[in-house]
Amino acid sequence: MKALFDPASYQIRAGKTLDISHLDPDGESAAGIKKEDAKEETKKLVSKLDGLQERLFAEHVHKVLIVLQAMDTGGKDGVIRRIFEGVNPSGVRVAHFRQPSQDEIDHGFLWRAYEQIPATGEIVIFNRSHYEGVLVERVHNIVPEPVWKKRYQEIIEFERLLSEQGVTILKFYLHIDSDEQKKRIEERLADPTKEWKFSEDDLQERKLWGEYLKAYEEALTQTSTEYSPWFAVPSNHRWLRDLIVSSAVVTMLEGLNMKYPKLPETLRDSKIPSLK
């Protein structure tokens, strides 16, 4: 089981061309992994994440940006809910990237992303992101091809700037297949507590499945770098998805070698007065 928990096997290496048709949304190793074992390991990782996030906040040196992208129903909200449920909300923030306002459009496609970057000691999770500028805007012909093609380099430079400013970046593409999406949309329609998530737009977007796959394939190939890597996460099984993402995040945070700040010697022998 240890090999499955190595997130490096799911990382898209810089300079490597991604072929999405070769990605198994069920997970190549899933058949040899017990669901119960994976869930138990994820619980341990989530618990470890809680302590690491507290250390990040206390040390006040590093900044962390986590980007989540997926097809509709791909599991972005589920990842946020299951993996970050135990962390201190004062040090973690979720930024949602919905349809841009006219003001955001006027400022350029990267402007709203820059406004949301993490402060020192903070983890920020992008639920969708600046990558919408080379995904949705490409697929729907909102901008012409010369514009969105130029954006790959603009994204690379933007993320390089963040890295130079001390931001550690992890990006996750949650990969499901069209059959799994169909099942999840049907589950929404059958559940009165989830049907509010469904809209006619879901059906229109589903018709563009092939175009979105092409857009994802090129975006991930063009913009996975050493300082801002993409992970292609098999996500048909939520338990496997959560295991891979939590493992990658914990591995990254452990690699920062964070330490709790030391109390100044002048305060070490402080006497706490009684109030009685």
CATH number of the domain encompassing residue 78: 3.40.50.300
- Quote the pTM value: 0.93
How confident is the model at residue 274, as a pLDDT? 87
Which tokens sit at 109?
Answer: 């496609």
Residue 274 located in a structural domain: no
158, 202, 215 from 137: Cα distances, Å: 18, 16, 10
Residue 268 located in a structural domain: no
How confident is the model at residue 3, as a pLDDT? 43
Residue 96 located in a structural domain: yes
- Mean pLDDT for 31-43 is 87
- Name 254's Cβ contacts closer than 8 Å, sequence gap at least 6: 52
Residue 214 located in a structural domain: yes
- Mean pLDDT for 115-143 is 96
Residue 246 located in a structural domain: yes
Q: Side chain identity at 85, as an amino acid letter? A: E
Give the span between the Cα atoms of 164 and 117, in whole angstroms.
13
Give the span between the Cα atoms of 130 and 141, in whole angstroms.
16
How confident is the model at residue 234, as a pLDDT? 95
CB atoms near residue 259 (< 10 Å): 10
Q: Give the confidence band of 1 by pLDDT, cuts at 50, 70, 90.
A: very low
Residue 48 located in a structural domain: yes
Q: What is the pLDDT of residues 98-123, one digit of tens each?
A: 888 898 888 989 999 999 999 999 99
The number of folded domains in the chain is 1
CA-CA-CA-CA dihedral for 26, 30, 35, 37, to nearest 10: -140
Q: What is the pLDDT of residues 241-254, one digit of tens each?
A: 999 999 999 999 99
Would you say 87 and 49 are in contact if contact means Cβ atoms under 8 Å apart?
Answer: yes
How confident is the model at residue 43, as a pLDDT? 94
Residue 273 located in a structural domain: no
Residue 78 located in a structural domain: yes
Would you say 250 and 45 are in contact if contact means Cβ atoms under 8 Å apart?
Answer: yes
Domain of residue 19 covers 2-257
- Comparing 28 with 125, the larger pLDDT belongs to 125
- Name 133's Cβ contacts closer than 8 Å, sequence gap at least 6: 109, 110, 143, 148, 151, 155
Give the span between the Cα atoms of 69 and 96, in whole angstroms.
11
Q: What is the pLDDT of residues 25-36, one digit of tens each?
A: 998 666 678 899
